[in-house]
Amino acid sequence: MKLTKNTHACVRLEKDGRTLVIDPGTFSERDAALGADVLLVTHEHPDHFDEGRLRAALEADPAAELWTLRSVAEQLAAAFPGRVHTVGHGDAFTAGGFDVQVHGELHAVIHPDLPRVTNVGYLIDGSLFHPGDALTVPDQPVETLMVPVMAPWSKISEVIDYVREVKPRRAYDIHDALLSDLARPIYAGHLGRLGRTDHSRLAPGDSTEL
């Protein structure tokens, strides 16, 4: 399976000629969702969900389909009947040759005064986990963890402890668009020294084989 990192929280997975894209939001490239057979969205915040990008992808390929939680699905289901699917914690399905398991229920706490929206993470082929905006720990081993390194709801100690708890074979950064180039080496250094895993960063557009 080929992993390509797009800007911020968006990733593209390719296998056997099929493509799966997670979280093509407003911080991601304009064409981030195009060409996807399978689209997954973790939650409704705009840096993960951009309606225009999803509509463009679904209109460009009549066979493309979207799996997401209810708050996002309700905004697109009427326009694409039968192609937008609502999922929640504990669900499992196969789409475009990818096996997908859904883990998690709520967005991480930003502040007690702010209501928490729903958030789900996706485990792909029992191997790669994208948690969205939460530090969800799947109930099974994870080989590749997409780790949200910097967000308004997190601090680096929590991110380090999250990587330690999941115990992946490797971890790649996501949710990193808010980091300046000056700050990236600091975060990478802490995760590399303390995360107890093989930690790497892929720049937007970079790919690796898993």
* pLDDT band for position 188 (cuts 50, 70, 90): very high
- Domain that residue 179 falls in: 2-209
Mean pLDDT of 160-174: 98
Reading the block at residue 111, the tokens are 């502040």
Instruction: Determine if residue 175 is left, alpha or beta; phi over 0 gives left, psi from -120 to 50 gives alpha, anything else beta.
Output: left
Cα of first residue to Cα of last residue in the chain, in angstroms, is 5
Q: How many Cβ atoms are within 10 Å of 196's Cβ, its own excluded? A: 14
What pLDDT is stored for residue 195 in this prediction?
Answer: 97
Pairing between β-strand 144-148 and β-strand 38-41 as defined by DSSP bridges: unpaired
What pLDDT is stored for residue 27 in this prediction?
Answer: 98
Mean model confidence pLDDT for the chain: 97
Q: How many domains does the chain fold into?
A: 1
Answer yes or no: are the C-beta atoms of 3 and 170 closer than 8 Å.
no
Is the Cα dihedral 104, 200, 142, 91 positive or negative?
Answer: positive
φ, ψ at 56 (rounded to 5°) = -60, -40
CATH code, domain carrying 42: 3.60.15.10
